[in-house]
Amino acid sequence: MIQVTLTRLDYTDKSTSGILSVPKENGYAWIAKTLELPDKNNQPKISCIPKGTYQVQYTLSPSFKKHTYEIQGVPMRAGIRIHSGNFTRQILGCILIGKELVDIDKDGTIDITESRKTIEEFEALLNYEPFTLTIQ
């Protein structure tokens, strides 16, 4: 099974950012930036999920009405997904991925760019297959 790693790099009171990497033998096949909610002890809808290793499945999202990657086995949480979006106000505990971290709307909170394109690349790279995600 494919192993994907999310390395969290910056924690603020408004967000958590990091790097999502899909490894290959001699380096990384693919890398993206990540944006999550701040770490508030895994509180539903206001916090990023805990560090750990999770199984991830490509499932139908009732909210988005399309398939997205869903992170399985998050303690006391369900429906946590890797999906497109640009702003922390668009997530309730999920993970956004994109190309760059910048303050798009100039509100003082970091945002993420090119998310839809990045999600498409990520899903195609993994061929919509399950994978193991390690968050560190």
pLDDT in tens, 83-100: 999 999 999 999 999 999
C-alpha to C-alpha distances, 132 to 8, 45, 126, nearest whole angstrom: 16, 23, 11
Amino acid letter, 14: K
% of the chain with per-residue pLDDT over 70? 97
The pLDDT value recorded for residue 29 is 79
The pLDDT value recorded for residue 75 is 95
The whole-angstrom separation of Cα 51 and Cα 23 is: 19
**pLDDT single digits (tens) 40-60:** 999 999 999 999 999 999 999
% of the chain with per-residue pLDDT over 90? 91
pLDDT at 26 over 90: no
**pLDDT single digits (tens) 56-78:** 999 999 999 999 999 999 999 99
Place of tokens 């390395």: 7
Global confidence as pTM: 0.94
Q: In the chain, what are the domain boundaries? A: 2-135
C-alpha to C-alpha distances, 122 to 75, 89, 98, nearest whole angstrom: 25, 22, 10
